[in-house]
Copies of this chain bind each other. A is one copy, B any other.
Amino acid sequence: MSKTNPGNYFEDFALGQKLPHATPRTVTEGDQALYTALYGSRFALQSSDEFARSLGLPRAPLDDLLAFHVVFGKTVPDVSLNAIANLGYANCVFGAPVYPGDTLSTESVVIGLKENSNGKTGVVYVNSTGVNQRGETVLDYVRWVMVRKRDEASPAPSASVPELPKAVAASDLLIPEGLDFAKFDTMLAGAPHRWGDYEVGEKVDHVDAMTIEEAEHQMATRLYQNTAKVHFNQHVEKEGRFGRRIVYGGHVISLARALTFNGLGNAVKIAAINGGAHTAPSFAGDTIYVWSEVLDKVELPGRSDLGALRLRSIATKDRACADFPDRGEDGRFDPAVVLDLDYTIFMPR
């Protein structure tokens, strides 16, 4: 019998099923250095131990999205090896900060199943939780994927689709213990604008851009131990639909986040990802630009030092964002758009 992992097919999932994922991972200063080299991130909280201490943390945590990618990567062999499409994310809450030396592992629970009318595929909803070595939750999120059936003749499960919030509620945002922005130094952080300086509906073109190289997205994706084949095998992909390896969507999210520094430099901590869509695939050679819109401003109970901004960041390829390319009147995205990410950050007041 084959010793290789065949992955799960749609009929292998059952409502309420627990999926403990393999490959615990100790994250280190080495991972953070690579993250910086891959994206050029400049948010001061993650860049400087001294800055982190001035805000009440013991040292600089890893970039939030580095933790996200490591937690996410573990789910791939069990959840999405036979996936046709990664349909969405929701209700993603960042919990305990992740520090060098922490060991992350991930477990998922199946919270929804719905066979598609074609009888060939179905949608699986999982709630994945990343924890550190002390059992503290560092990340909790839902994603749903379209997965192939092994056997089209197998019966459909009763459909069950979870209700998911459009955005993480303010009361569900977790402020790391000890984090206090009272002494936040905007000069050191590199941007003068505080929470109060942003308006709902305001749009920011982040101006900067970065071109993706094959070696970069491959190194990133392997760093996260995400081994989905489409990112790595040019011998197969050259015969595929695009003729090229597809860049891991999370790589584009991280590039976009790093580029938002120019305009959102004090958005040092991601609190939540409310939803996201990879509206088109990205490839090596694409140059990624970003613009953002402020969707909401959230006051946090009892906190005068920090507030939350709900943002939407739209990334494009090979197209500057001075005119904020978005959905057209027909509801379809400008063809240059590759990412529409709805998320919430903490910023000093």
Contacts and interface: CB of A to CB of B under 8 A. Distances in A.
Given A33-B223, A285-B234, A188 B24 contact: yes
Interface residues of A, number: 81
Interface string A96-113: 000011010100000000
Contacts of A287: 233-236
A209 B322 CA distance: 40
A325 interface: no
B26 A219 contact: no
Nearest to A222: B40
Contact of A38 (B25, B208, B219): B219
Contacts of A213: 213-215, 218
A29 B28 CA distance: 6
Contact of A36 (B209, B223, B236): B223
Contacts of A22: 42, 44, 187-191, 265
Nearest to A245: B211
A24 B47 contact: yes
A32 interface: yes
Contact of A225 (B40, B51, B193): B40
A8 interface: no
Contacts of A262: 4-5, 227
Contacts of A37: 34, 219-220, 222-223
A133 interface: yes
Contacts of A205: 4
B235 A318 contact: yes
A214 B289 CA distance: 18
A338 interface: no
A77 interface: yes
Given A5-B262, A26-B60, A222-B36, A209 B190 contact: no
B215 A232 contact: no
Contacts of A216: 215, 218-219
B263 A4 contact: yes
A34 B30 contact: yes
Contact of A3 (B33, B193, B236): B193
Among A37, A227, A229, find the residue whose CB has the most chain B CB atoms closer than 10 A: A37
B3 A204 contact: yes
Contacts of A17: none
13 contacts: A4-B206, A4-B207, A20-B187, A25-B47, A26-B59, A28-B29, A30-B31, A36-B222, A50-B103, A208-B229, A210-B218, A216-B219, A235-B289
Given A29-B100, A37-B219, A40-B227, 19 more contacts: A4-B206, A4-B263, A22-B42, A22-B191, A23-B47, A24-B47, A26-B47, A26-B50, A29-B30, A31-B33, A34-B37, A38-B219, A39-B222, A40-B222, A49-B133, A208-B229, A210-B232, A215-B219, A235-B319
Give 10 closest A-B pairs by Cβ, nearest first.
A30-B33, A22-B190, A40-B222, A235-B287, A215-B215, A24-B48, A30-B30, A28-B29, A213-B215, A211-B234
Interface of A: 2-5, 20, 22-26, 28-34, 36-40, 42, 44, 47-51, 59-60, 77, 100-101, 103, 105, 133, 187-191, 193, 197-198, 204-211, 213-216, 218-223, 225, 227, 229, 232-236, 245, 262-265, 285, 287, 289, 318-319
